[in-house]
Amino acid sequence: TGYGDDHTREIMRQELRERLIQAEREGRPLRVYCGYDPRTTDLHLGHTITMHKLRQFQEFGHHVIFLIGSFTSLIGDPDDVKAREILTPEKVAENAQTYKEQAFKILDPKKTEVRHNSEWLAELGFLDVIKLAQHFTVQQFLAREGFSNRLEDGNPIYLHEFFYPLMQGYDPIGLKADAQVGGQDQLFNLMAGRQLMQKLGVQPQVVIAMGESLPGTDGIEKMSKSKGNHIALLSEPGQMYTSLMKLPDFAMPLYFKLLLGWSQEDVDDMMVRINRGEVEPQEVKAGMALDITTIFHGREAALQGREFSRKAMQEGGIPDDIAEHVILSDTPLVDLLVVTGLCKSKGDAKRQIQGGGVRRDSDKVTDFDEIVRVTDLPTVLQY
């Protein structure tokens, strides 16, 4: 990521200042956006770093667009090792169903414009694609780390994978955007947008690349659903709290900084106090887990989540890596036993209840028709 140098960053800072002055002179807010690809149903904590940045712009009165990559996610941002599966528009639409709801955990719903990039990308015909593609060279793409690695290792790069930067690069034109926020790993695609705008004679967007990314639950690798080290925004309070408590201690500084907005000084102070033995790391982490869970669920639910988590951890019978299942409406307990995979069928579920093998919050279940109500949550089912 050769663009991610201090020089480029300084230029972007300067351009952002100028763009702010320009917009003020024109008596309009900046149009700022970030795109999120619904390759899966879940946004996770890692995504909230850019959302917090958008939120900041919102608080300063700028116009924020939450862009759902309904078209880009058909192919997905190219992987370093092999081509991703192409999704159908239907699958993507299904994945995106709760995206807005998830984003509004951070963004102000009343001040957020939600858009889908299929609005403009799906409308392009072959000739339009040719006209966009002529502004990029194959060499430029091959220089991108993920592709150069594959070329070297003899792993195939499929032609459609080269389309991704072009697609993402066309978004700011579709949106008439002043600025795009993105992760550091998105720099290539962010700059593709600038390049395309310049070639098409449009004032290029300011690129705001977040310097640091959030490590996943392993504390090391960048949080990502495909790596399985993510904490989903829609995870239940208890689950979220538990996952946060299981983070390695060394991951805490970045979580404080990126999710709770602590300054580097405050983070350093805290680490010094831990090292001096003035505070217990577990206590510090518990505070952090409660505060982060609160962002997504409110204080009350976060406190309940903490209780649930502690209870689950203490009760010997409950496995440590307890599976949590989200229900959106009241659901028969037998159905839940099936969808959670605890039982093979409703018949099986009923036999297990009959045999006394099913417990709910440690109590034996006896009623086949028992309903799990949304208001009762969280609840622990065991079989």
Give the residues lining the site for a second copy (CB under 8 A): 71, 74-75, 83, 86, 89, 121-131, 133-139, 141-142, 147, 151, 156-163, 166-167
Q: How far is the CB of 156 from a second copy (least distance, A)?
A: 4
Q: Distance between CA atoms of 350 and 334, rounded to whole angstroms? A: 7
- What letter would DSSP give residue 235? S
Q: How far is the CB of 130 from a second copy (least distance, A)?
A: 5
Of the pair 122, 200, the CB lying nearest a second copy is at: 122
Q: How far is the CB of 202 from a second copy (least distance, A)?
A: 19
CB 195 within 8 A of CB 157: no
User: Closest by alpha carbon to 49, among 63, 30, 36?
Assistant: 36
Of the pair 21, 133, the CB lying nearest a second copy is at: 133
Q: How far is the CB of 124 from a second copy (least distance, A)?
A: 4
Q: How far is the CB of 83 from a second copy (least distance, A)?
A: 7
Return left, alpha or beta for 371; rule: phi > 0 is left, psi -120 to 50 is alpha, else beta.
Answer: beta
Q: In the block, which residue shows the tokens 């992760």?
A: 183
Q: Distance between CA atoms of 164 and 172, rounded to whole angstroms? A: 14
Strands 359-360 and 363-364: antiparallel
Of the pair 153, 369, the CB lying nearest a second copy is at: 153
Q: How far is the CB of 196 from a second copy (least distance, A)?
A: 12
CB 229 within 8 A of CB 223: yes
Q: How far is the CB of 227 from a second copy (least distance, A)?
A: 24
Q: Which residues contact 343 (CB under 8 A, 6 or more apart)?
A: 334, 337, 349, 352, 383
Written as one letter, the residue type at 85 is: E
Query: Please, which residues bridge with residue 116 across strands?
Result: 68
Q: Distance between CA atoms of 52 and 360, rounded to whole angstroms? A: 38
Q: b vs e for 234-258, b when ≥16 Cβ sit within 10 Å of the residue's Cβ?
A: bbbbbbbbbbbbbbeeebbbbbbbb
CB 172 within 8 A of CB 121: no
Peptide bond preceding 378: is omega within 30 degrees of 0, i.e. cis?
yes
Q: How far is the CB of 208 from a second copy (least distance, A)?
A: 26
Written as one letter, the residue type at 123 is: E
CB 167 within 8 A of CB 129: no
Of the pair 108, 128, the CB lying nearest a second copy is at: 128
Q: Distance between CA atoms of 188 and 177, rounded to whole angstroms? A: 18
Q: How far is the CB of 88 from a second copy (least distance, A)?
A: 10
